[in-house]
Amino acid sequence: MSAIVEVKAISCRYRQETVLDKLSFHVNEGQIACLLGPSGCGKTTALRAIAGFEPVSEGEISLRGKLVSSAKQTVAPEKRKVGMVFQDYALFPHMNVADNISFGLRKHSAAQCRDRVAQLLSTVGLPDYRKRYPHELSGGQQQRIALARALASEPDMILMDEPFSNLDVELREQLSHEVRQILKSLNTSAIIVTHDQQEAFALADVIGVMQQGRILQWDTAFNLYHEPSHRFVADFVGQGVLMKGYLVSPSSVATEFGLINGNRAYTWPKGTEVDVLIRPDDVVPDADAEMKATVMHKAFKGAEIMYTLKLPTGGKVLSLFPSHQDHDIGDLVGVRIAADHLVAFNYS
């Protein structure tokens, strides 16, 4: 597949502060990518640099093989064939929906604008809303209209900055799936910025986890969760604990939970002290298990209950139980380890 955008070792600085530090990644045609990370990690700056709103002090950005940003030159945002959906949607309050969507279609005839608006309103599921004004729309409807406006000029790719942050959790999840379906149906590439991992999982084909202006891991949601390559990624993506242990063989670690065998081989010497990542789904309820743990905390999640369990040795783990297995604080429950993915970090 050909790359729509290539970001090559770009740096962005504000005064003396480095916001992006030699950041590199690429997005292929039809691919939906996500930059995921905490506030202040540089993800929005990266998006704005691709859009042309922020200059780069080092490195290059290319769109469809054409250089658009470097330390020596910058192509204007309106010439990049990139559509932008802002966090606050940025709809014009004095314009109705049709005029908002067609705002960037100045070179089209009135008939072409009407057809394009009708097509896009149908695509985003709001075919009868052309005469409504932004204040008459719900947050979810405004978000769809903002997406329709960004798609109106048929850009090479869409950039979305925290597009669902103003919505409630249930609507956010629903719209994440809807936006993905819309973009996929049009084979439109996209980069979405978010701090919400569930949003990233629902939307993206590939995710870059960022910290301090760099991407620590560029991977699928599955691999970020089960095969994190960095402590920060292991901690930021999903839930879990890091349990102390030591290497017994290249693919097994001794812990207070017993011997954990996995699918990775490590080259550290035997006896190396490590932290092993234990996810809640690695700790399986088993009434017949020898290991008995004490329920310290519980969080009801509908179909499941997340228990915080204290092991006999004092360590704590998280475990997901089916919700009909309702235990009280202080109860002893049987659990066993079922960690197919051995993820360990040493102290060097």
Evaluate if residue 46 carries a pLDDT over 70: yes
Residue 182 has a pLDDT of 92
Cα-based torsion angle of the residue sequence 192, 236, 249, 309 in order, rounded to the nearest 10 degrees: -140
DSSP-derived secondary structure letter, 269 = P
Percent of the chain with pLDDT over 90: 81
Residue 1 has a pLDDT of 64
Which of the four pLDDT bands, split at 50, 70 and 90, describes residue 16? confident
What residues contact residue 33 under an 8 Å CB cut-off, 6+ apart?
25, 27, 189, 190, 191, 192, 204, 205, 206, 207, 208
User: Which amino acid appears at position 203 of this protein?
Assistant: L
Coil/strand/helix, residue 72: coil
At 193, give phi and psi (nearest 5°).
-105, 130
Alpha-carbon distance 281 to 338, whole Å?
A: 8
Phi-psi domain of 10 (left: phi exceeds 0; alpha: psi -120 through 50; beta: other): beta
Alpha-carbon distance 203 to 31, whole Å?
A: 10
CB atoms within 10 A of CB 71: 13
Mean pLDDT, the chain, as a whole number? 93
Half-sphere exposure in the Cβ direction for 260 (13 Å, CA): 28
Residue 173 has a pLDDT of 85
Residue 348 has a pLDDT of 62
Per-residue pLDDT tens over the stretch 251-286: 999 998 888 988 788 999 999 999 999 999 999 999
pLDDT mean over 146-153: 92
Contact 157, 188 (CB under 8 A): yes
Alpha-carbon distance 208 to 310, whole Å?
A: 34
- CA 255 to chain CA centroid, Å, is 31
Contact 203, 181 (CB under 8 A): no
Q: Tokens for 300? A: 């009801």
What residues contact residue 45 under an 8 Å CB cut-off, 6+ apart?
12, 19, 20, 54
Distances 218 to 33, 59, 67, 88, 206 between C-alpha atoms, Å? 9, 19, 23, 27, 7
Choose among 267, 243, 271: nearest CA to 257.
243
Beta strands 304-310 and 344-346 are unpaired
Evaluate if residue 96 carries a pLDDT over 70: yes
Per-residue pLDDT tens over the stretch 298-337: 999 999 999 999 999 899 999 999 999 999 999 999 999 9
Per-residue pLDDT tens over the stretch 158-208: 999 998 887 888 888 888 999 999 999 999 999 999 999 999 999 999 999
pLDDT mean over 85-111: 88
Domains and their CATH numbers in the chain? 3-235 (3.40.50.300), 240-346 (2.40.50.140)
Contact 268, 346 (CB under 8 A): yes
User: Which amino acid appears at position 140 of this protein?
Assistant: G
Coil/strand/helix, residue 33: strand
Which of the four pLDDT bands, split at 50, 70 and 90, describes residue 108? confident
User: Comparing 122-136, 165-179, 209-223, which segment has the lowest mean pLDDT?
Assistant: 165-179
The 252-255 sheet, strands edge to edge: 258-261, 252-255, 241-249, 273-278, 344-346
Evaluate if residue 216 carries a pLDDT over 90: yes
Residue 263 has a pLDDT of 79
DSSP-derived secondary structure letter, 49 = H
Residue 258 has a pLDDT of 86
